[in-house]
Amino acid sequence: MDSVSKIYRTAEVETRALDGVSFDVEAGSFWPSWTLGCGKSTLLNILGLLDSPTSGVYSFFGEDVARASEQYLTILRRGMVGFVFQSFNLIDDLNVAENVEVAFDLPERFGSERKRRVAEALERVGIAHRSRHLPQQLSGGQQHGWPSPGRSSPIRS
């Protein structure tokens, strides 16, 4: 990330959420906690390809995506970004496997591939045995720790 800025404008006010932020993120690194109102959510939205910077360069796996189309960002998000939300974002009426299936968002014609990917994802996080349970039948940790809507496969290094 090089000289990234994000400005939100309304008729009355201009808010600089990020102003010339530059840094590199290494695989497996951890970030410290930051103070309230310093642009963390804006930065994470840009890093997760949910938003684009107003200016600057965002190099995602070596490719500048700062001006990429929403369609292309969606393709990258689906294949290369994983999200962990503070809330669970689960669909109450769907079981665990169905919730994961929603996250993969593959067309119907990929039914067997979709089922295989769902099974692999649940196995990878250790709750394949709960695939037919509804979200309310899981513990808080189980609800929080698996690929759900909005969380695709983990970031690859």
Q: For residue 70, what pLDDT is reported? A: 93
Q: For residue 4, what pLDDT is reported? A: 95
**Rounded to the nearest 10 degrees, how much is the dihedral formed by the CA atoms of 68, 151, 117, 106?**
-50
- Please compute the mean of the pLDDT values over residues 72-95 and round it to a whole number: 82
State the average pLDDT for the chain.
Answer: 81
Judge whether residue 59 has pLDDT over 80: yes
The pLDDT tens digits of the residues spanning 98-149 come to: 988 887 766 666 778 888 888 998 888 888 888 999 888 877 766 766 554 4
Q: For residue 33, what pLDDT is reported? A: 66
Q: For residue 106, what pLDDT is reported? A: 64
Answer yes or no: are the C-beta atoms of 38 and 24 closer than 8 Å: no
pLDDT band at 87 (very low <50, low <70, confident <90, very high): low
- Please compute the mean of the pLDDT values over residues 40-53 and round it to a whole number: 90
CA dist., res. 43 & res. 6, Å (int) = 9
Answer yes or no: are the C-beta atoms of 80 and 35 closer than 8 Å: no
Q: For residue 139, what pLDDT is reported? A: 72
